[in-house]
Amino acid sequence: MRILVFSRGVVGETMGSSGVRAYHIARVLAEQLPEAQVTLSIPNEVTMPVRQGALRIVSHRNPLESLLQMLRNDVLISRDFPPYVTMLFFHKRFVLDLYVAFHIEWNALSQRITNPARRRLWMTSRRNHIDTQLLLADYVSCSDERQRDFWVGCLATLGLITPQTYNRDTTLRRFIGVMPYGVQRGAPRHTTQVIKGVVPGIREEDTVLIWNGSIMEWFDAGTAIRAMAEIARVRDDVKLFFLGIEHPDFVAGMLFDPPRDAVKLSKELGLYNSTVFFHSDWVPYAEIGSYLAEADIGVCASFDSMEARYAFRTRFVDLFWAELPIVCTRGDVLAERVDRDELGVVVKPGDVEAFAAGILRLVEDKAFYQTCRANMPAVKADLSWERVLAPLVAFCRGESSIASAKRRRFPLLLGRNAMALLTLLERAIEYAATNLRQRLAARSSS
């Protein structure tokens, strides 16, 4: 059996959650399926050892190269298959790793597109793309039960939950399973001093709060920064450190409004580089442990939105790995776990005073802080990569797919592709007409 994990995110010295997840999926499959040949295909140059035990790592730099890689494998795993894999539909088993509710994130990201017609065109193409992915899939994975309900609804709407599928497994677990983002092995390694006593303005004895991830449209960095303004009035030894503004997959960074607004707010409040600090470069994966080892508390705030409802915050998993108590806003499933398992303090979105109070409680109540840390190992064990990927290992080991027969799905797949082309043509015409009207209006006004 030959398995290809096709990563859409960069895998190497610096990588985001997509690349990290693809790497660990490939690693665990290679370790637990010794009879299989497992290959990880990445979109960048291979900078790590080409072979890591039984795992082989290659790059795909163009469509032909990636198609040839897929032809040589039996099971294909990806969060996003290129359109040309349709020609392999009858000959391969497809695993679709939908660990994010992409429809909702894309609606938030589409706010970056100011032209209404262009925004509709972009979202239409994204929705059709996901529908095509679901029609390809012989097995679907997601991050939690709430996401699973979301994707089951999408599958049902596409007609993919048939009586035959239901009869094969009334739970549908053999069709769509839960595989959360996992926790790394061991504990973070502190190899060099990186924050305390190194960053100007942060002393070795200070308490460091770490925002370990990018600042996207759905994150409310403003609440965390305003909470620091409240704290700075009573303490000068608590510092907030934003780790990693520029994303390696270019989905976030100072080109976009959210991080720029965060920096601007910290300057307006007089906190920039005195109480609030920004590390703009994305930290190499091997160095994240040093930053987490020097931090004392993890923080994350988000808005009250549909994104929070279906989010599985991968940054929380690294905080669990480092056993750092957390202050966060409620709404997502991991925030619920922080609250339920006493891993920190959870407050309602936008409540600056409560966020500041939660930070001060963890700073000043040493017994509560230690209780939160003591509760972390159980969560780490529950979310280990080896444990969370067990359903995928079982599927790859030979468990048959219960998805609708491919001969029944193929006409739907062709129809969806045709509909996508027609819809895109319609949206493109609308976009061109809008631009023409705007140019004519500008010309007449001049």
Through-space distance between the first and last CA atoms of the chain, rounded to whole angstroms:
68
Q: Give the residue, 128 or 357, on which the prediction is more confident.
A: 357
Q: Which residues contact 387 (CB under 8 A, 6 or more apart)?
A: 182, 381
Q: Which residues contact 122 (CB under 8 A, 6 or more apart)?
A: 110, 113
Angle subtended at Cα 328 by Cα 366 and Cα 16, rounded to the nearest 5 degrees? 115
429 within domain boundaries:
yes
Residues found in the chain: 446
Evaluate if residue 125 carries a pLDDT over 90: no
Residue where a domain terminates, one of 339, 358, 383: 383
CATH number of residue 404's parent domain: 3.40.50
Average pLDDT, the chain: 90
Identify the pLDDT of residue 16.
85
Domain shared by 234 and 143, yes or no: no
pLDDT in tens, 210-243: 999 889 899 999 999 999 999 999 999 999 999 9
Ranking 98-102, 241-245, 325-329, 370-374 by mean pLDDT, the lowest is 241-245
DSSP 360: H
In percent, how much of the chain has pLDDT > 70? 92
Domain shared by 221 and 179, yes or no: no
Domains in the chain, number: 2
pLDDT in tens, 32-71: 999 999 999 999 999 888 888 899 999 998 999 999 999 9
Domain shared by 295 and 169, yes or no: no
Domain shared by 142 and 265, yes or no: no
446 within domain boundaries:
no
Domain shared by 378 and 237, yes or no: yes
Per-residue confidence at 251, pLDDT binned at 50, 70, 90?
low
Domain shared by 107 and 175, yes or no: yes
CATH number of residue 264's parent domain: 3.40.50.2000
From residue 432, alpha-carbon distances to 53, 118, 426, 441 in Å are 53, 9, 10, 14
Domain shared by 108 and 51, yes or no: yes
Query: Virtual CA dihedral for 100, 106, 112, 113, nearest 10 degrees?
Result: 160
82 within domain boundaries:
yes
Domain shared by 372 and 238, yes or no: yes
Residue where a domain terminates, one of 383, 400, 424: 383
Q: Give the residue, 196 or 125, on which the prediction is more confident.
A: 196
Answering whether pTM is above 0.85, one says yes
Q: Are strands 51-52 and 55-59 parallel, antiparallel or unpaired?
A: antiparallel
Ranking 88-97, 204-213, 223-232, 396-405 by mean pLDDT, the lowest is 396-405
For residues 330-354, give the mean pLDDT.
97
200 within domain boundaries:
no
- Give the structural domain span for 318: 207-383
Per-residue confidence at 256, pLDDT binned at 50, 70, 90?
confident
Residue where a domain terminates, one of 337, 367, 383: 383
190 within domain boundaries:
no
Domain shared by 6 and 119, yes or no: yes
Domain shared by 168 and 221, yes or no: no
Q: Give the residue, 31 or 399, on which the prediction is more confident.
A: 31
Domain shared by 399 and 365, yes or no: no
Residue 346 phi, psi dihedral angles, 5° rounding: -120, 130
Domain shared by 60 and 100, yes or no: yes
